[in-house]
Amino acid sequence: MNNKLKDKLVIGTWPLSGDYGHVNLKIVQETLETCYEHGLREFDTAPSYGNGFIEHCLGNVMANKDDVLINTKVGNAAFLGKSFSVDDMRISFEQSLKRLSIEKVNILFLHNPRDDLDNNKVVIDFMSNLQEEGKLRFKGISLAKNYDYDPEFLKEFDVVQDDGNLLDMRFINLDLPKRINFMARSPLAGGILSGNITAESIFPVGDHRSGWLIGERLNSILRRVNKLTTEFDMEIIELAKKFVFSNSKIQKVIFGVKNPEHVSSILRRTDTQELDLETVEKLIKLYLDDFGLEGEKHLSF
């Protein structure tokens, strides 16, 4: 992978947290070390991922590495759960700094707020104060799925994070000023675009996908994937990666990893050739037409 694409790549740590199923501590350490050895320097995490477990691991592995950028979140604290009160967020953030063994984060995201923000201005002031204290570089917001945000509220942030992949392109309708970066998460749609999920796939109870990626929804989503594979002469995983790296509205992409092989796969299977504008526009049109499916919009990703 060339340096341009590496700069766009952010490593997501949720799969390493244990929330997708059991993880081995040694594998976690090896995975994070592999990321660093391959020149990957930006990581996305949250205190709720494994109730602080992965933040603690990042702190252990990345301590004293001045070139690493860590992005974390507030609003969903370890063991406490969702709370956007300033007092709770302040405590959660200070705990994150301790687990991460750092004094300052790169981006601090509000973690998927919905109707649980009592006062938007108070929250923005809280984050701005942290900036003035030198504890964060940029204010960010991670958008909750299928929730409509006030565009004026979004303009208060430096970075907006949301799902962005071949099966979910709601981000193309975000009207953000040029100064605000968009960070796409779930580029492989929870593994659906990896090419490894079939109609027979069953996820363990500890995997969050076990509650929704099943039955009629799974079959409908796989019909969309099949449409992509028949329309384009490219492996679905390669097409998915090239799409997020080629889209001009996406400044950063979060790829979740669960082992060293995942890291190597991301780097190995994404070459320097991006998709041309015509192909990107064709993919967007296919998405807007819901892949030619009738009456299945409610079963989308």
Local mean pLDDT, 10-residue blocks, the chain (301 residues): 79 92 92 96 97 97 94 96 96 98 98 90 97 98 94 96 97 94 96 92 83 93 96 92 93 96 81 82 96 95 92
Q: What is the pLDDT of residue 1?
A: 63
Decide if 240 is inside a domain: yes
What's the whole-model pTM score?
0.93
Decide if 220 is inside a domain: no
Decide if 228 is inside a domain: no
What is the domain-level CATH number for residue 47?
Answer: 3.20.20.100
Query: What whole-number distance in Å separates Cα of residue 160 and Cα of residue 68?
Result: 20
- Would you call 21 helix, strand, or coil by DSSP? strand
Decide if 260 is inside a domain: yes
Decide if 207 is inside a domain: no
Helix ranges (DSSP H) in the chain:
3-8, 25-37, 53-62, 86-100, 120-132, 151-154, 215-231, 236-246, 260-268, 277-288
Q: Which domain holds residue 122?
A: 3-195+236-275
Domain count, the chain: 1
